[in-house]
Structure 1
Amino acid sequence: MRTPSPDVDSPVGVTDGLVTLGPEAVRLRAALDAVFTGWASAADAADVLYPPLIRVADLARFDYFTNFPHLVLAATPVNTAAVAELPTHPAAPGTGLSGYQLGEAGFVLPSAACYNAYLSLSGTELDEPATFTTIAQCFRRETRYEGLRRLHGFTMREIIAIGDAETVKGHLSTHKALVLDFAAHLGLSLTTEVATDPFFDANGSRAVMQQMFPTKEEFVADGDLAIASVNYHRNFFGERADITYAGGEAHTSCVAFGIERWLHVLAGRFDGDWGAAEEAVRSFPRKTRTP
C-alpha cells in the first residue's frame, strides 16, 4: 500500500510500511519528543542511545522468541557462496532474498527501545534507583501496514525506571497523569485500556499477580490505536538480566511513546494543519521536575 509523496515538502509518505517525513512532520516530531524528553529530564533520567541491533542469545533470555516470534526481523548476512544468484538491476517489485542466499543470523532488529537498557545493566548491583530515557528505531513484522498507524519501522521513545517496586510503580503513576494532561491539552480523546503482558507465563505466579495489579496499560486513540503505554514488569527483567537493587532482584517499569502514531492522531485532530498541531504541542506547560 502506498500513500503518495509527490515532493520533499509533503508532510508524510508511506510505502510498504516504511515512512518518509517531510519538514512539517519532522518539526512536529521534534516538538513531541521535546515534551517527552522534558518529562525524562524532570525525572532525572539519563539520556542514553543503545546499539541498533540485539544479540539473539540476549533476547532469548527474555523469552522473546516464545512471546513475539511473529514480530521478529533478523539482521542476516548474505551468503557469499550464492553471490552469483543475488538480485541485479533491474529487479522486479517485491524481489527478495531466499533462505539459501542468507547466512546465520546472530542479531535481530529491536521491536522496542528498552531491551538494550536492561541488557546494558546485566550483572549490575544498583545502590539507588536509576532512570533512563532512550529513543530507537524499532521494527516489527506485521500482517498488514496502514499509514502512520502501523509501520514496518517506527520510532519509540521510552522513559525507564529500575529499582524497588514502589519507586518504579510511582514512575508509572506520575507519567500516566502527564500523558492524560498532555492529551487533554491537545484536545485528544484517549481511553486507558488494560493489556496483557506476554512476558508472564499464563500459568505462573506473575500472571496471577497481574490479575490483581495490571502490568500494562495503553493509551488508545481512534478507538483502537495505542499511542503510548505504561508497563510494570515486576522483577522479570531484573531476574533475567541479573540486575539487583537493595540485595534483591530489581523491579523495572517503562513509559513508551510511538512517535509516528502521535503524528497520525495529531494530524487528524488538527485536520491536516501540521503547523497548528506543532503550536499546540509547544504550548504545553513544561514541568521542571516530576514529584
Structure 2
Amino acid sequence: MECIVSLEHLAPSQHGQLKYAAAFIDETISDIRIESGRIHIVHESPKGNSAIEERVHKLIDRFSQGDFGFKENILFEHKADTPYEGDIIAELVDRKIIKVLEPGLFIFREPFSSLMRFFDYSFMTKVAGRFDGVKEEHYPAVIHSETLNKTNHFTSFPEHIHFLTHLREDLDIIESFSQSIRDAGGWKQDQKLDLNATMPTPKFTMNPSTCYHCYEGLQNETLEGDGLIVAAISKCHRFESRNHSDFGRLLDFSMREIIFVGKPDFVKENRLRAIEYLKELAVEWNVDSVLEIANDPFFTNDFQVKASFQRNQEMKYELRLTIPNLKKSIACSSVNFHSNTFGNAFNIKFGKRNAVTGCVGFGIERWTFAFLAQYGLDEAKWPASFREQYHAWQQKSL
C-alpha cells in the first residue's frame, strides 16, 4: 500500500525532519520519499492507510507549530572543484573495501580503515593539540541507563536508544532459553521471547554520544582553575530505522570529541577557537563545505521549542561536507554549547557555581565517506596538502 499526504501546510525547510521521523511511524514501512510537495509512504501495515495518514498528520502538526523559520544561517563556506562525481558507496562495495552487513552497519577495509585512522590522528594534532593542557580519555561503548537519563536523551531522542540486557541469573531460564534455540535449529529473527520473564530491566544502553561519559566521570566534583579540556573517542550507537539507508547515517560509528568543561567564558572562548580551527582545516584540505547554525533532530512533541532555542542562542553549528553524486551535504562535525545543562545534571562545580560545557565532534566515518565522495580513491587526484600529510602519516605508522 502507498499512503500519500500533502505537505502544503509544512515549510519546505521541515521536509527533511518529517521524512526522518516518518520512518518510525510503522514497522512495515519499506519506502519514504517526498515529491512535488507530497510525502509518499509505502507500507504493509494491517492498520491500513488511514492509520498511517493519521500519524503523518500528527508529525506535520509537531513540526509546523509556532513561528519557526529554519532560515539558513551560513557562517562560512568553502567552495571547491572536486573531481569525483560517482557513487562512492557503490564503488567501495564493488572493490570490497567496505562490506555492508545491513544498512548503516559496515565492515571497513583498507584503504578506508587507514583513512579513518589518519582523520582521527589529524583531528587530534590539528585541532585538539592546539588547546593547552588537553587530557586524553578512553570511554566504553556502553553507558548506564541512569547516566543517560541525566542527559535527557530518553526524552529528547528516544528513538535512538539501543538497550542492553541479558538473561536473568536463573539456571532454569538460561537452560530453557538454550534448549529453545536448539529446538528451533538455531537463532531465528522472529524468535519468540518473553522478555519480562527472561530478562531484567536494562541497566545499560549503547552509548549514543562520546561526551556523556566525560560528564559522568566528573560527577559531584569541584574543579579548579577556569576549566578543563578533554579529548576522547568512542564507538557510538543510534538506531535510526530506515534512515540508515541515507548516506553516512550509521548504526555504529566512531565519534572523536574535544570537550570543554568550566566557567562560561572559558568554554565559549575555546568553542570559538574550535570553530576557527575547523574552518582552517576545510580550507587546508580543500573540501567543499559549509558551516551553519543547526539544531538537533529532537523527536518529541516539544521539538519546536527546543530547536528554536538552540538556533536562537546559536548553541549548535555544523560543518557540512558536500556529496556531489547526491547533490546534498552531510554533517561531519558539530560544535556545541550546552550552557549549564550537564553541569547541573551531574553536579559538576567550579567554585560554588555549576560548570558549563561545550564540545566539538568529528564523525570519523562521515569525514572519510565525504572526502572520498568528493575526491575518489585515486590518490593522484587528492588535494596536494591532504595527500602529503596522509603519506607522511603512513611513513610514521610503519
User: Under TM normalisation by the shorter chain, which class is it?
Assistant: 0.7 to 0.9
8 Å Cα contact 2:262/2:350 also seen in 1: yes
Report the Cα offset of residue 127 of structure 1. Answer: 0.5
Give the structure 2 partner of residue 30 of structure 1: 117
Give the structure 2 partner of residue 217 of structure 1: 317
8 Å Cα contact 2:181/2:187 also seen in 1: no
Deviations 1:99-140 (A, max 9, x none): 535432100001110000000000011112110010001001
8 Å Cα contact 2:295/2:311 also seen in 1: no
Rg larger for: 2
- Aligned equivalent of 1:130, options 228, 232, 240: 228
- Aligned equivalent of 2:130, options 27, 33, 42: 42
* Corresponding residue SS for 1:117: helix
Give the structure-2-normalised TM-score: 0.63
Report the Cα offset of residue 23 of structure 1. Answer: 2.0
Deviations 1:13-50 (A, max 9, x none): 22212121112112111111111111212212101002
* Rounded Cα–Cα distance in structure 2 between residues aligned with 1:62 and 1:242: 12
* Rounded Cα–Cα distance in structure 2 between residues aligned with 1:274 and 1:98: 51
Give the structure 2 partner of residue 85 of structure 1: 180
Deviations 1:217-264 (A, max 9, x none): 111122341100000000110000000113211010000011000011
| Cα RMSD after superposing both structures | 3.2
Give the structure 1 partner of residue 146 of structure 2: 57
The residue identity in structure 1 corresponding to 2:139 is Y
8 Å Cα contact 1:12/1:21 also seen in 2: yes
Cα 1:208–1:186 change in 2 (3 A) is: closer
Cα 1:14–1:274 change in 2 (3 A) is: farther
* Rounded Cα–Cα distance in structure 1 between residues aligned with 2:259 and 2:106: 26
Greater helix proportion: 2
Give the structure-1-normalised TM-score: 0.84
Cα 1:181–1:98 change in 2 (3 A) is: farther
List aligned pairs for 1:1-291, cutoff 5 A: 10-16=96-102, 17-38=104-125, 39-43=127-131, 44-79=133-168, 81=173, 82-83=176-177, 84-86=179-181, 91=187, 94=189, 98=193, 100=195, 102-128=199-225, 129-144=227-242, 145-146=244-245, 149-197=248-296, 210=310, 212-222=312-322, 223-273=328-378, 277=382, 280-281=385-386, 283=388
The residue identity in structure 2 corresponding to 1:157 is R
Answer 1 or 2: higher relative contact order, Cα 8 Å, separation at least 6. Answer: 1
Cα 1:278–1:159 change in 2 (3 A) is: farther
| Structure 2 segments unaligned to the other structure (5+ residues) | 1-88, 323-327, 391-398
Deviations 1:121-165 (A, max 9, x none): 000111121100100010010122237601110100000011111
Aligned residues: 281
Cα 1:208–1:274 change in 2 (3 A) is: same
* Rounded Cα–Cα distance in structure 2 between residues aligned with 1:206 and 1:95: 38
| Structure 1 segments unaligned to the other structure (5+ residues) | 286-291
Cα 1:274–1:15 change in 2 (3 A) is: farther
Cα 1:175–1:57 change in 2 (3 A) is: same
* Corresponding residue SS for 1:104: coil
Report the Cα offset of residue 187 of structure 1. Answer: 1.9
The residue identity in structure 1 corresponding to 2:151 is F
8 Å Cα contact 1:235/1:249 also seen in 2: yes
